[in-house]
Amino acid sequence: MSLALARITEGPGFSPRLIAERLLTTVEDVARSTGLGRDALSRKDRIAQPKTQTRLREMMEILNRTSPRFGSDLLAYAWFRSEPIAGFGGMTAMHLVREGRADEVMDYIDAVDAGLYA
């Protein structure tokens, strides 16, 4: 399974429904994972909002970066939601994204890939 952009976008942006289908979860779960309200991912006018699309893009970018490491999108999503990241006080990638700190997660992943963290 691949989280290729063509498979998770619909119209001008990311589709919460398609993301949920690819991750074998619900739209409500995707909303919780990104720190968005359920309405943000169920109402068309809210799905198109910049904040909604940014949070979805951030989560998908993190999953796309980590999926090869874990061997599947589902395992990458499990890591995103549950594995505390060293140096972030026990916070997970999900918690950091919800706080608007996705860039820090991506910097961490880049550092791991560069061999700076083991």
Which pLDDT tens digit goes with each residue over 53-95? 999 999 999 999 999 999 999 999 999 999 999 889 999 999 9
Cβ pair 16, 47 in contact under 8 A: yes
Of residues 117 and 39, more confidently modeled = 39
What is the distance between the terminal CA atoms of the chain, rounded to a whole angstrom?
Answer: 27
> Residue 75 belongs to what domain range?
5-113
Read off the tokens for 3: 């989280």
In tens, the pLDDT along 35-55 reads 999 889 988 889 999 999 999
Residue 54, in any domain of the structure: yes
pLDDT band at 97 (very low <50, low <70, confident <90, very high): very high
Please indicate, yes or no, if residue 73 is contained in any of the structural domains. Answer: yes
User: Is the per-residue pLDDT at 108 higher than 90?
Assistant: yes
What's the whole-model pTM score? 0.87
Q: Does the residue 108 lie in any domain?
A: yes
**Is position 35 within any domain?**
yes
What is the distance between the alpha carbons of residues 116 and 118, in angstroms, rounded to a whole number? 7
Element (H, E) at 13: strand 13-14
Tell whether 118 is covered by a domain.
Answer: no
Identify whether 53 is part of a domain.
yes
- In degrees and rounded to multiples of 5, residue 111 shows phi and psi of -65, -40
Q: How many domains does the chain have?
A: 1
